[in-house]
Every structure is written in C-alpha cells, then in structure tokens.
Amino acid sequence: MNLLEIDNLGLALNGTPILDGLDMDLWEGHVHAVVGPNGAGKSTLAGTVMGLEDYRRYTGEIRFDGTSLAGLGVDERARLGMTLGWQEPARFEGLRVPEFVRLAARDKDEDAVRSCLSRSGLDPDRYWDRAADKTLSGGERKKLELASILAMQPRLVMLDEPDSGIDVESLSRIHDAIGALKAGGATVVLITHSAEVLDWAEHAFLMCCGRIVDKGNVDKISHYFKDRCIPCDHKNRPDLGQEGAP
C-alpha cells in the first residue's frame, strides 16, 4: 500500500524550475532512499512534501494516505503524522533537552524520553540538564532532533542527510533508530549522498534535474556512487556524443 503518492510534481523558485514532472510512490512501512547530485532537487522535494512556506506553490498532486495535501500548511501535515528532519537542525533557546523531546512526544513519561535519547545516541544522564541551544554541536542537535522524532512516532519521516555531522561511533545508533522507526510502522525517506546510508534502505530513487530518472532496489541504484553518471536524457550525456557530463 502506498502511503505517499506524488504525481507530476513541479515547482519553481525565483523563476527557476527545481522540480519537473516528478512522480513517486512510497510504500507504507518501508525505508526508502533518495539520491542524486547536488542541485537535483532532493531537499526541495522534502520541503514541498512537508509544506514549507516557500514550497507551497507547486503544480501536480501530493496525496498522503489517499488525501490531497493541497492547501495544507506544515502544522496540518504534521498532525497527519508527517515530519522532516533537517540537514542542519534548528536551535531552540530556553528549552532543556528533555523538554525539547517532550514537545511532540506521544508518551511524555520520563522513561520514554530517556529511551528516545538513548536510542538516538545521547546518554540521558549526560544530557538531561543540558539546554537545546548553541552549546550543542551540530551532531548533538542532529541526534536530539532524531530523539524527538522517535518520541513523536510519526507515520512518515523524511531525513535530510541523516549522517551529516555524525561521528562514526554514533552512525550505528542512527541506523538503529531508523530501524526502530520502521519497526513502529513508520515510512522512512533517507535523502543522502552516502553509499553507506543508501544501504540502510530497502528501495531507492535516483533524482536528476528535478525528476526521478531511476528507481528500484538498492543494488540497482548503488551504481550511481560508482559511476557518478545518471541514466537520463540530458543534452550533455556522454553516450549522446556531447562534451561534458550530467
């Protein structure tokens, strides 16, 4: 069953087309990956699905669990069970770490909050009295954001570069947290430039120039990281005899 269906999605920012007739279906309860070169539109796709303010004037159709998302803002989409983990998480002055996790948590009990922190790679005893502010490193804020997503128990999770700013030791904890989200019934989308993160997925999409140009199992899509060339109809594609590469 498809949880998210995207048909002929188009979006222009400042007069520049970013998404161009994009089609995508996400199977419920699966881990998907979206890969492709810088500028392909991967983060824009996530922002459009989430309904961020600058990404609402799109063409085409986005349906969540069979219902059109047209006209719905971020808060309304979040209430449907959608969330987005940022490549560069925001800072929240005035909140302690456990308060941040409790904001959208279904279970606000201390044990539940501690469990979410631990599963995201943050020792609850070390971080319980810390502030969720600039004193946290980028990697720590990334893990705190993931802890809040675990506590939220969403139906659809989009994670933009989930390994960004994460040390090698913590990477396995992030992987485990994504597994916990899937085990809880969530559909997970990993937007990534990492072959290792791609391997966490069950199914993958390859983007170029605002479109999905290939999709399939991870083994099929992993060739992108080896060849750095995408099977598309770009005018500079090497096998078309043109100079340069897409």
Assigned token pair, 138? 């980028």
Is residue 99 in a domain?
A: yes
Whether residues 116 and 230 fall in one domain: no
How much is the pTM? 0.87
Whether residues 75 and 15 fall in one domain: yes
All residue ranges of the chain with pLDDT < 50 are 236-246
Place of tokens 């139906």: 155
Whether residues 57 and 159 fall in one domain: yes
CA distances from 143 to 44, 69, 112, 150, 165 (A): 22, 29, 16, 10, 10
The pLDDT, as a whole number, for residue 232 is 59
Domain count, the chain: 2
How many Cβ atoms sit within 10 Å of the Cβ of residue 205? Answer: 25
Residue type, 44: T
CA distances from 217 to 109, 166, 239 (A): 39, 26, 25
Is residue 245 in a domain?
A: no
How many Cβ atoms sit within 10 Å of the Cβ of residue 233? Answer: 11
The pLDDT, as a whole number, for residue 243 is 39
CATH number at residue 59: 3.40.50.300
Whether residues 230 and 178 fall in one domain: yes
Whether residues 56 and 162 fall in one domain: yes
Range of the domain at 98: 88-153
